[in-house]
């Protein structure tokens, strides 16, 4: 049973290199979002990427937005295309 669990984890858990590449992409994306958003709006990475619980080949990059003037907040979800795996790992 341990062999099966280890194999499944190997397939679904991102490698340290994949995590570093993703965090570089997320950092650049957040910087671009922050450049374009109104000054009274806060952006925050949320969801499985923020918590470190996303699965390899099944991730969404989620940002939440809140305004000092609007307490309801909004969110944005970005799903990379399947071809993005080459981009994540290319650094």
pLDDT score recorded for residue 39: 84
User: What pLDDT is attached to residue 80?
Assistant: 57
CB 46 within 8 A of CB 63: yes
CA distance 20 to 16: 6
Domains in the chain: boundaries: 2-90
Q: In which element (H, E) is residue 18 found?
A: helix 16-36
User: What's the pLDDT at 83?
Assistant: 52
Contacts of 75 (CB under 8 A, 6+ apart): 46, 62, 63, 64, 65
Identify the pLDDT of residue 74: 59
Q: Which structure tokens are listed for 1?
A: 């049973």
Instruction: Please tell me the predicted confidence (pLDDT) of residue 91.
Output: 42
For the chain, give the number of residues. 91
* Predicted confidence pLDDT, tens digits, the chain (91 residues): 999 999 999 999 999 999 999 999 999 999 999 998 888 888 999 999 999 999 998 888 999 888 765 555 555 555 555 555 544 444 4
Query: What is this structure's pTM?
Result: 0.68
């Amino acid at each position: 049973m341990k062999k099966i669990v280890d194999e499944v984890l190997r397939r679904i858990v991102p490698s340290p290199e994949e995590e570093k590449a993703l965090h570089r992409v997320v950092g650049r994306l957040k910087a671009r979002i922050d450049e374009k958003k109104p000054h009274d709006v806060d952006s925050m990475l949320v969801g499985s990427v923020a918590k470190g619980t996303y699965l390899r080949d099944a991730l969404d990059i989620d940002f939440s937005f809140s305004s000092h003037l609007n307490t309801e907040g909004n969110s944005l979800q970005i799903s990379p295309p399947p071809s993005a795996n080459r981009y994540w790992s290319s650094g």
